[in-house]
Structure formats: C-alpha cells, structure tokens
C-alpha cells in the first residue's frame, strides 16, 4: 500500500472553497472514505481508463521486439 498524503488531503478538503479547497468541516472531512475524497477532488477524472482501442494504439506504437526485430516467441 502506498502512503497517503494526509497533509495534502487535509489542505484540499478543509481549505475554504474560495481558496481552492472543498471547504469541508473537520467532522465531514473525517467521515469521508479516501475513495469519496478522491472523487470529490476530481482525481478520477484526471486519468481516463485504458480502453481496448488505446491499448491497441500503444501496442502498435511500442511493439515487443528483441534482438534486431525478433519478438522472442517460438513458433
């Protein structure tokens, strides 16, 4: 499990909304789950899910190659 940036999350959650925070009261902040807080901060919108089309695009752009073009499979 990675560490949680509690000071950063507290600043984002408790800071007044006119200063860029959510303006939550401490009681409301501490009742949130980390997933709820991430959702409120828009973290989920920052990274779109990897779609099959995007995976195919990446596979074409970065094919698995070894030793001068051979892909290492045995056939």
Per-chain mean pLDDT for the chain:
82
pLDDT (mean) for 48-60: 89
Calculate the alpha carbon distances from 69 to 63, 72, 73 in Å. 10, 9, 11
Higher-pLDDT residue of 14 and 38 is 14
Region of residue 34 (left: phi > 0; alpha: psi -120 to 50; beta: else): alpha
Q: Name the residue ranges covered by the structural domains of the chain.
A: 6-61
- 6-14 and 34-41 helices cross at what angle (nearest 10)? 60
What pLDDT score was predicted for residue 2?
65
What pLDDT score was predicted for residue 28?
94
Report how far residue 24's alpha carbon sits from residue 59's, in angstroms, rounded to the nearest whole number.
43
């Amino acid at each position: 499990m990675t560490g949680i940036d509690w000071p950063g999350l507290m600043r984002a959650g408790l800071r007044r909304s006119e200063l860029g925070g959510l303006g939550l009261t401490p009681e409301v902040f501490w009742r949130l789950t980390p997933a709820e807080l991430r959702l409120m901060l828009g973290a989920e919108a920052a990274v779109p899910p990897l779609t099959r089309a995007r995976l195919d695009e990446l596979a074409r752009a970065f094919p698995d190659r070894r030793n001068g073009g051979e892909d290492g499979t045995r056939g």
